[in-house]
Amino acid sequence: MPQFHHWSDFTNYWKLLQSQASRGLLVLEECSVTYQQVLPKLLACSQLTGVSVNMPGYDLGVSNIKPQQASQYLGRSHNLLIYRACDEFNVNSFCALCGTLVGASLAILIVPAGQPWQHHIDAQGVDYGYLPDNVQSPFKHWWQAVWQNHKGVMQLSQQAQQEVTLASVVALAPLPAITPSLDLSSISLLPDQQQLVVKLVASATAAQKSEQRVSAKQLIWVCGARGRGKTVAVAKALEQLATKGVNTLITSAASQTAKAVLHQHGEQTDYIAVDQLVQQITAEQAALNNTVLVIEEAASLPHALLQALMQGFSCLVLVSSSDGYEGTGQGLSLKLPQLAQRHEFQLTTIELTEPIRWQEGDLLEELVQQSFLAPKLPVLVTNTHLADLEHHIYTGAQLALDEPILAQVYGLLSLAHYQTTPQDLRLLLDHPDLSTHCWLNQQGNLIGVACLIAEGGLSQDLSVAIARGQRRIKGHLLAQILAQQAGCAEAAQLPMRRIQRIAVHPAVQGQGIGRFMLKQIHRHYQASSNSQWLGSSFAGEPDVIRFWQAAGYQVIWAGQRLDAATGLPSVQLVLPLQNHGLRLSKLLLANFYHYYAHLNWDSPLTKSILTLLEPTYRGLPSQLLPHLFDQVGNYHGNVYGVQGYLYRALLHKEQLSHDEKQWLTHNWQPRFSQKQFSQLTRQLVAQQLPIDSGFLVTISATRCSKRKG
């Protein structure tokens, strides 16, 4: 990495890169002259079209945005990106915005001065639980090592920045001007874009014209690295299909970004969010729909949802980057041939390779690829003996120092999980409570990986506040779901390990390796920690649910609403490790048994998921009933598990209050909302406390005998 201590040396080097039409990354240490003098001098001669991030209050002639707004700028062309990374650094946003820069443009990264960047607290560090005086970021340290000897990264010292006050200092050569967005009809396509249009239109038209639609079903996979013009070419193809009278529809996994990008190019195709679309598909439609469905960001869709869409449309166009900040397409490309064969689709793969915003061999693209985008995994022999696998556990700091293992871990996670993004790499290296379990063969190649995060162990006061909806903290995903949604405040107090990711190398899948890994994880934490249970939370794909259930994990909760990005419900499972975890899991299972009847999903896919989640009721031990009532009455617990017992308890009373009569009536003839009913249930339970445990045992025995009868 060139480091410049004189302004003239930097400007001369940048002229060289610009003459090659290459983009570069300029790293500035924040100092007294950075904003008022250095940046204006750098940009004085340029007609700017770009964005700055985390820089409110600085008027630099570009739009200032928050990191989470980066996706709104996809598909646009810029000549400048300024990212102030002193208080926050989101890798996804940085990668996304770098993808908008045209050739010979400049990305500027501003880092704090005075102490190494990796020891400076930022928003992500706070989320991970670091304190300002004890910050370690193995991720930043690792990325700075990647910069070394990379000729596309330029670092301007504070001394060089101070020279900007000299009268002899000249401004930076102009950045390339950005031409306004052209009308779609005025855009000239590159040869591979033209081939994409021809193939896409031909395949989609063939699917529409065929009278035997089942045999002519088309699955068109449009892929390529970012910046290859996939969206523009697809918009051109949709324009031609419209002239032929072919109906088209766009959907996307994450947001309406795809709609905005296509509309920017003049394409007015209808858009529908994927979670809404999957609810509209019925089994009767099965491949008879004459609409071409375009799925932007297709790599970030669960495979089960993609299969559901294949049931409703005879022609699907999947568009995604082979590497991306919205999820990698590498895993999807491995699965598509199997999906196409299973559902009798003809698969057409169209890959764009020529960049349209920058030149081949661009230095900034090389840096981003080398840093954040997953390498390919080694080729493995297909037979793996479980006894030969070595189990290693890494902290983030250890992974950052072991480049070969890190590359394999991130590569495998990217292949296996449809929503793996560059920000996950930072989580992997920086989160102090995350441990990475690796299984290696005798050649040192990665066979399987699992990432676990320590959760729970929260104080009683904080757990109760979370259960009541009064507090929400960063992290502790599963613990907070069980406390707040499942209504068990005590669940957040128990130490647990959440299995965030688990993946097996594609070459050796189907050999029981995943179950073997889960067994070893169970033995390790049962023997070596105070964790009360293992658990996981994920979008409920049927095959994934079956995998966890086969390993002994029990479903104890599921979200009532479907996720907007996946169209699937979130599902939570646990496997007890110690007695306390076992006792509490029984309470949660009792709640889930009654809560299950309230789940109502309409699509064929979600109904099949509902069948998988159906609980097997074994009866709640009578000695746990007082604890269950205590959770509801005192700690804002979930009301579902106590409804039947409370109903029978009230029936035994000689005189009933108005509220009690209303509550009993509601069991048969609902007269108010579920929220009102839950509030009244908690109120009535609180009035019963302390409850007669002997009476509850009697009720429990009555319920069990009726069930057996």
In sequence order, what DSSP letters do the residues of 596-618 get, joined into one string? GGG----SHHHHHHHHHH-----
Does the CA dihedral 620-626-628-632 come out positive or negative?
positive
Does the CA dihedral 152-153-156-157 come out positive or negative?
negative
Mean pLDDT check: name the lowest of 204-213, 230-239, 255-264, 598-607. Answer: 255-264
Q: Using CA atoms, how far apart are residues 311 and 301, in angstroms rounded to an integer?
A: 15
Pairing, β 496-504 against β 533-539: parallel
**What DSSP designation does 219 have?**
E
Q: What is the pLDDT of residue 625?
A: 78
Q: Using CA atoms, how far apart are residues 130 and 122, in angstroms rounded to an integer?
A: 9
pLDDT tens sequence across 68-105: 999 888 878 999 999 999 999 999 999 999 999 999 99
For the cut 60, the answer to whether the pLDDT of residue 705 exceeds it is no
Mean pLDDT, to the nearest integer, of 203-228? 77
Q: What is the pLDDT of residue 3?
A: 84
Mean pLDDT, to the nearest integer, of 14-26? 93
Burial letters for 392-416: b for 16+ Cβ neighbours within 10 Å, e otherwise?
eebebbbbbeeeebbbbbbbbbbbb
Q: What is the pLDDT of residue 709?
A: 42
Mean pLDDT check: name the lowest of 134-143, 445-454, 504-513, 666-675. Answer: 666-675
At 231, list the tokens.
């969206």
- Residues 115, 109, 321, CA angle at the centre, nearest 5°? 130
Are 484 and 473 in contact by the 8 Å Cβ rule? The answer is no
Q: What is the pLDDT of residue 707?
A: 42
**What DSSP designation does 169 have?**
P
Q: Where in the chain is the domain with CATH 3.40.50.300?
A: 191-208+215-351
pLDDT tens sequence across 113-131: 888 999 999 999 999 988 8
Q: What is the pLDDT of residue 653?
A: 82
335 vs 434, residue with greater confidence? 434
Are 465 and 500 in contact by the 8 Å Cβ rule? The answer is no
* % the chain with pLDDT above 70: 89
Amino acid, res. 206? A
Q: What is the pLDDT of residue 578?
A: 94
Q: What is the pLDDT of residue 701?
A: 54
Mean pLDDT, to the nearest integer, of 303-322? 88
Query: Element (H or E) spanning 686, and its range?
Result: helix 674-688
Q: What is the pLDDT of residue 203?
A: 86
Q: Where in the chain is the domain with CATH 3.40.50.11040?
A: 6-156
Q: What is the pLDDT of residue 700?
A: 55
Measuring CA to CA, which residue among 266, 221, 228, 270 is closest to residue 250? 270
Measuring CA to CA, which residue among 583, 581, 590 is closest to residue 615? 590
Are 55 and 85 in contact by the 8 Å Cβ rule? The answer is no
| Listed ranges 173-187, 277-291, 657-671; the one with the highest mean pLDDT | 657-671
pTM: 0.89
Measuring CA to CA, which residue among 584, 424, 430 is closest to residue 495? 584
Are 243 and 287 in contact by the 8 Å Cβ rule? The answer is no
518 vs 604, residue with greater confidence? 518
Q: What is the pLDDT of residue 284?
A: 47
Pseudo-torsion of CA 31, 33, 36, 39, nearest 10°?
A: -80
Q: What is the pLDDT of residue 340?
A: 93
Q: Using CA atoms, how far apart are residues 85 and 94, in angstroms rounded to an integer?
A: 10
Helix/strand/coil for 267 = coil
At 168, list the tokens.
């002899």
Q: Using CA atoms, how far apart are residues 270 and 248, in angstroms rounded to an integer?
A: 7
Q: What is the pLDDT of residue 211?
A: 47
* Averaged pLDDT score across all residues of the chain: 86
Are 635 and 466 in contact by the 8 Å Cβ rule? The answer is no
Query: Element (H or E) spanning 595, and its range?
Result: helix 579-595
Helix/strand/coil for 52 = strand
Residue 516 has φ and ψ, to the nearest 5°, of -60, -45
Mean pLDDT check: name the lowest of 49-58, 396-405, 558-567, 575-584. Answer: 558-567
pLDDT tens sequence across 421-461: 889 999 999 999 999 999 999 999 999 999 999 999 999 99
Instruction: Report the greatest alpha carbon distance in the chain.
Output: 97
Burial letters for 220-248: b for 16+ Cβ neighbours within 10 Å, e otherwise?
bbbbbbbbbbbbbbbbbbbbebeeeebeb
Measuring CA to CA, which residue among 491, 507, 506, 427 is closest to residue 635? 491
Q: Using CA atoms, how far apart are residues 314 and 310, in angstroms rounded to an integer?
A: 7
Measuring CA to CA, which residue among 554, 642, 548, 636 is closest to residue 590? 642
Are 143 and 423 in contact by the 8 Å Cβ rule? The answer is no
Amino acid, res. 463? S
At 436, list the tokens.
């990475």
Q: What is the pLDDT of residue 289?
A: 66
**What DSSP designation does 134 have?**
B
186 vs 427, residue with greater confidence? 427
Mean pLDDT check: name the lowest of 12-16, 220-224, 631-635. Answer: 631-635
Q: What is the pLDDT of residue 704?
A: 46
Map tokens 């559902």 to a residue: 343
At 147, list the tokens.
């910069």
Instruction: Please tell me the chain's helix, strand, coil percentages from 3-state DSSP, rounded to the nearest 5.
Output: 45, 15, 35
For the cut 60, the answer to whether the pLDDT of residue 414 exceeds it is yes
For the cut 60, the answer to whether the pLDDT of residue 592 exceeds it is yes
For 191-208+215-351, CATH gives 3.40.50.300
For the cut 60, the answer to whether the pLDDT of residue 702 exceeds it is no
Q: Specify the fold of 6-156.
A: Rossmann fold (3.40.50)
**What DSSP designation does 484 have?**
I
Amino acid, res. 271? Y
pLDDT tens sequence across 464-484: 899 888 888 889 999 999 998
Q: What is the pLDDT of residue 542?
A: 94
CB half-sphere exposure, 413, CA atoms < 13 A: 27
Q: How many CB atoms lie within 10 A of CB 547?
A: 15
Q: How many CB atoms lie within 10 A of CB 292?
A: 28
Q: What is the pLDDT of residue 706?
A: 44
**Under 8 Å CB-to-CB from 379, ≥6 apart: which residues?**
507
Q: What is the pLDDT of residue 697?
A: 58
**Helices H, strands E: what count in the chain?**
27, 20
Query: Element (H or E) spanning 110, and its range?
Result: strand 101-111
At 294, list the tokens.
């375009």
Q: What are the Cα distances from residue 549, in Å, to 514, 519, 586?
A: 12, 13, 16
Q: What is the pLDDT of residue 91?
A: 94
